[in-house]
Structures are given as C-alpha cells and as structure tokens.
C-alpha cells in the first residue's frame, strides 16, 4: 500500500516539485484516500486522484493600477479552476504578498473537498493576487479591485465560477469587485458571495466561518460529553474568522485568552469579553489597526511580539490566521499544557508534524476543510437565496449552518472512526469529500 502512495506522490512531485504547500495538501489527502481507493473496486485503476490534482484550468493575468502618488503599479492576478464535477467552481480570492501558484493550488485543492463536504452543489476554485492591501487607501483598493475584475470577469459567472473573500478580501473588496463585474457584464447576478446585505448578501455570511469552526468544535466535544463552558480558549488571528470564532466562544461560555496578527499576539488573562471584542472589531475592521493597539485601551493585557499564541495554556485551540502557523513544537507545547481540542478556522494552519502529534495524543483535531467549511457553506446558501431572489432570516441561515456543520461531523465520523472509537477527522473529511466528487467524475466520464 505504501508504494502506491509513494509512487502517486512521486508523479505529483515530478510535475509540481516547486510547489511545497500544494504538495503538502495533496500528500495529506493521498495518505488517507489511496488506501480507501485500493479497498473499493469502483474507484480503483481509474486515476481519479491523479485527475483531481490537475486543475481543470489556471488563469494568470496582469493587474495594472495607479497608486495615490500617480505611480503605475503592476501585480499578478490568478484564478485556479480546480474541479467542477459537482457544481460551478467556488472559492475565495486572497490578496496577500505571499500569494503564488503553490498557495492558490493548495487552497483550491482543499476547497474541492471542503465544498463537497458541505453537501451543497459547489465545485472548487481559488484565486487572488500578490497585491498587499496593508497601508493602501480606500481609493487604491478600489482601483486595484476594478482593474483585477476587468480581466477576471471573462472567466467567471454565476453558473461557471463564483469567487468570494479570503485573507485580504472582505466586504469592501467584494463591493468594488462586484461593482465592476456588474458594469461590464451588464447584469445583476450572484457572481460573487460575501456581498453586502442591501445588494444580494446573506445574513450570517460574515459570521459563518468563525461560528462554524466553533460549532464543529462543539460537536467534537459532545462526543466526549464535554462543552465550551468554562474552557480556556486560545485563538490566533484577528481577522474575520478569528473575530467570530471569539464571539461564538464567548456566547458558549468559553474564555478567549488570545488574538494575534503577523507582529505577535495579545494575551488577556481576564478574558476578551463581548465589549473588548467589539473594540477589536472596530480596531481591525474600521481603523485597520494592529492588534498590539489593544493594550492602549486594555493595559492589563500583554503583547508578545513576534510569537504565536500556542505557548499559552489552554483547553481548546482555534488556529484562525493562516497556513502552517502551528508546527510540531507548538503542538507538543499545547499537548503538554493539557489542550484537548483543536479546530482549524484557517486553511491548513497545522503542519504535518503537528497533526501527527495531535493524532498520537488522540485529542480532538479537526482539519480546516471540515471545521472551516461553514464559510463556503453559507456562501452556498447565499447563492441559493440569489437564485430564489429571496432572503432568509438570521435564524434560518444560522440553523442551516449548524445543520451543515453537524452533517460534516457525521460524515467525518462515518469514514474516520476506528475500531477503538477514535475519530480521525482528517481521514474522515478526506474520504467523505472524495467520494462525492469521485462519483460525479465517474458518472461524467473522462472529460
Ligand atoms: N475563502 C473561504 C474558504 O476558504 C470562503 C470561500 C467562499 O465563500 O467561497 O472556504
């Protein structure tokens, strides 16, 4: 069996050797899915996984724009259309200086499995740019978004490919992108998700990724007859996902001890309560400030420069910042401090070594493609509402989100539970996500 996995990975490496993050994501899937393929005749010998690692289409394009000083700037734009077997390509756009082909291909590949797990009809894609929104004025952001969409528009559409937000792309950027799409396509369609409430957005979409991450952790804790009540919770990041993971944690009776950004983390041993969180939301979303500024208003907290928050003793850890932000040493520190549950709000935040450590210790560990699927699931609900030309209430969307997270938990259990009752959520999510896409690919033939 090992040689099957190894020879598959050798092939993938031959073609994509210079894409470490993509190879990391593929390896994690191959290790769990190939043994399943070997045991199940209908999938065996059809090179399905080999077809799934090759994007159906990759688009890269030039994005020129003029900054506030009148200087011409040039960035690179991308859209990876990974798999459309079960629905139109769907996935976010990331604007960050680290964006490259490897990062976007890993994200697009993960998205295929994640979207399949939601049970909604969405294929997988991802895109973005190496554009750095940090320090840019609203006008610069607008000019960049308009330029980006003036090329991207010809590759997307509400039945073809439906982008959304990711790191560096929030409500403001989606607004500018949508405005340009609508103008040049001369049509008001649900081509993007994460839209504003007055122009086709869905209630709960801003909250969905963070809430979903906590709902999933709640489901995992239930298997141990446990809950968030009275738990110390360490959260990384301070963007959209971290903010709403914190909000839901507080609502469920957990104590949020940390938040972070690329400069370091804040540690508030009294807990970040609702009022303090409202301050963080205003600081990050309106003033676009740094998390260290928290101390100017709450001087009892500490700012730990240049470090990640995994060294803080906690019961539950929610990595909500970015890929590979939690390594094997961090995992061992969390474990020795008594952490019992890790639910990923970001995409692939734990390294391979960290995941192995969590599995060895048999704690509750959820990979992002399962636990952060609430965001894209609610994007799917936004697409449905756009098609119906109708809006559901907050309660209706939240209930559907909770149901979807619970169903994903059930699917992971079905495919990931071993004979001793331990649930390997990585294995469960990979196989459950694979089966639906593979069945559709088989039915549609070699295309
Ligand atoms: N970027 C988010 C993710 O990683 C959301 C994608 C979407 O809503 O399409 O799943």
Q: What is the pLDDT of residues 62-88, one digit of tens each?
A: 999 999 999 999 999 999 999 999 999
| Contact between 162 and 191 (Cβ < 8 Å) | yes
> Ligand 1 centroid to 251 CA: how many Å?
24
What's residue 75's pLDDT?
98
Q: Which residues are annotated as a binding site for NAD(+)?
A: 209, 240
Say if residues 37 and 43 touch (Cβ distance below 8 Å): yes
Is residue 88 within 6 Å of ligand 1 at its C-beta? no
Nearest residue (by CA) to ligand 1, atom 9, is: 91
Q: Whose CA is nearest to atom 5 of ligand 1?
A: 376
Averaged over 103-110, what is the pLDDT? 98
Q: What is the pTM of this model?
A: 0.98
By most ligand atoms within 8 Å of CB, the mutation choice from 94, 108, 111 for ligand 1 is 111
Secondary structure in 3-state letters for 47-100: CHHHHHCCCCEEEEEEEEEECCCCCEEEEEEEEEEEECCCCCEEEEEEECCCCC
Supply the pLDDT for residue 320: 98
Distance 321 CA to ligand 1 centre (A): 14
Checking if the pLDDT of 2 tops 80, the result is no
Contact 264 CB / ligand 1 (< 6 Å): no
- Could you give the domains of the chain? 57-188 (3.40.50.10860), 208-366 (3.40.50.720)
Is a pLDDT exceeding 60 seen at residue 148? yes
H or E element: which one contains 58? Answer: strand 57-66
What digits encode the pLDDT tens for the residues 3-31?
899 999 999 999 999 999 999 999 999 99
Q: What is the pLDDT of residues 244-285, one digit of tens each?
A: 999 999 999 999 999 999 999 999 999 999 999 999 999 999
Average pLDDT, the chain: 98
**What is the structure's pLDDT at 279?**
98
Q: Which residues sit opposite 341 in a β-bridge?
A: 316, 364
Average pLDDT (225-233) is: 98
Distances (CA, A) of 237 to 8, 326, 396, 433: 35, 12, 28, 27
Predicted pLDDT of residue 3? 87
Spatial contact of 246 and 272, defined as CB atoms under 8 Å apart: yes
**Residue 189 predicted with pLDDT over 60:** yes
pLDDT tens for 166-181 read 999 999 999 999 999 9
CA distances from 31 to 34, 153, 427 (A): 6, 37, 8
The tally of CA atoms less than 13 A away on the side-chain side of residue 257 is 19
Average pLDDT rounded to a whole number, residues 306-314: 98
Among residues 126, 219, 231, 400, which one is catalytic? Answer: 126
**Position 44 pLDDT exceeds 80:** yes
pLDDT digits (tens, 9 = 90+) for 378-436: 999 999 999 999 999 999 999 999 999 999 999 999 999 999 999 999 999 999 999 99
Residue nearest to atom 10 of ligand 1 (CA): 376
> Coil, strand or helix: which one is 33?
helix
- How much of the chain, in percent, has pLDDT values that exceed 70? 100
Q: State yes or no: pLDDT of 120 exceeds 90.
A: yes
Statement: residue 200 has pLDDT above 70? yes
Query: Rounded to the nearest 5 degrees, what angle is found at the Cα of 53, between the Cα atoms of 48 and 59?
Result: 130
Residues 440 and 119: beta-carbon distance below 8 Å: no
Q: Is the pLDDT of residue 372 over 70?
A: yes
Q: Does 1 have pLDDT greater than 60?
A: no
């Amino acid at each position: 069996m090992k040689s099957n996995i190894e020879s598959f990975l050798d092939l993938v490496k031959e073609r994509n050797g210079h894409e470490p993050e993509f190879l990391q994501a593929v390896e994690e899937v191959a290790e769990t899915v190939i043994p399943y393929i070997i045991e199940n005749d209908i999938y065996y010998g059809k090179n399905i996984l080999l077809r799934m690692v090759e994007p159906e289409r990759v688009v890269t394009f030039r994005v020129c724009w003029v900054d506030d000083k009148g200087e011409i700037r040039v960035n690179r734009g991308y859209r990876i259309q990974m798999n459309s077997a079960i629905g139109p390509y769907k996935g976010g756009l990331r604007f960050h200086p680290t964006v490259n082909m490897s990062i976007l291909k890993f994200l697009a590949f993960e998205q295929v499995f994640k979207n399949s797990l939601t049970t909604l009809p969405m294929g997988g894609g991802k895109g973005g740019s190496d554009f750095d929104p940090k320090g840019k004025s609203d006008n610069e952001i607008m000019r960049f978004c308009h330029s980006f969409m003036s090329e991207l528009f010809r590759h997307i559409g509400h039945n073809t490919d439906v982008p959304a937000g990711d790191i560096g792309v929030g409500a403001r950027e989606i607004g500018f992108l949508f405005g340009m799409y609508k103008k040049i396509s001369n049509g008001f369609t649900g081509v993007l998700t994460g839209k504003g409430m007055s122009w086709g957005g869905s209630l709960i979409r801003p909250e969905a990724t963070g809430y979903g991450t906590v709902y999933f952790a709640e489901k995992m804790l239930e298997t141990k007859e446990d809950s968030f009540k009275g738990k110390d919770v360490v959260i990384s990041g301070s963007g959209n996902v971290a903010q709403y993971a914190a909000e839901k944690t507080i609502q469920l009776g957990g104590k949020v001890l940390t938040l972070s950004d690329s400069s370091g983390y804040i540690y508030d041993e009294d807990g970040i309560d609702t009022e303090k969180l409202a301050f963080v939301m205003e600081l990050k979303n309106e003033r676009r400030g740094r998390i260290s500024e928290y101390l100017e208003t709450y001087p009892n907290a500490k700012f730990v420069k240049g470090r990640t928050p995994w060294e803080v003793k906690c019961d539950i850890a929610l990595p909500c910042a970015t890929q590979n932000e939690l390594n094997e040493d961090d995992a061992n520190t969390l474990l020795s401090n008594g952490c019992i549950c890790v639910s990923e709000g970001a995409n692939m935040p734990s390294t391979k070594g960290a995941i192995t450590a969590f599995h060895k210790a048999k704690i509750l560990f959820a990979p992002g493609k399962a636990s952060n699927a609430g965001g894209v699931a609610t994007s799917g609900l936004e697409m449905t509402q756009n098609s119906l030309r109708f809006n559901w209430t907050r309660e209706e969307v939240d209930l559907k989100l909770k149901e979807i997270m619970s169903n994903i938990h059930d699917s992971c259990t079905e495919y990931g539970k071993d004979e001793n009752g331990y649930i390997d959520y990585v294995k469960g999510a990979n196989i459950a996500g694979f089966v639906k896409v593979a069945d559709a690919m088989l039915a549609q033939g070699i295309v």
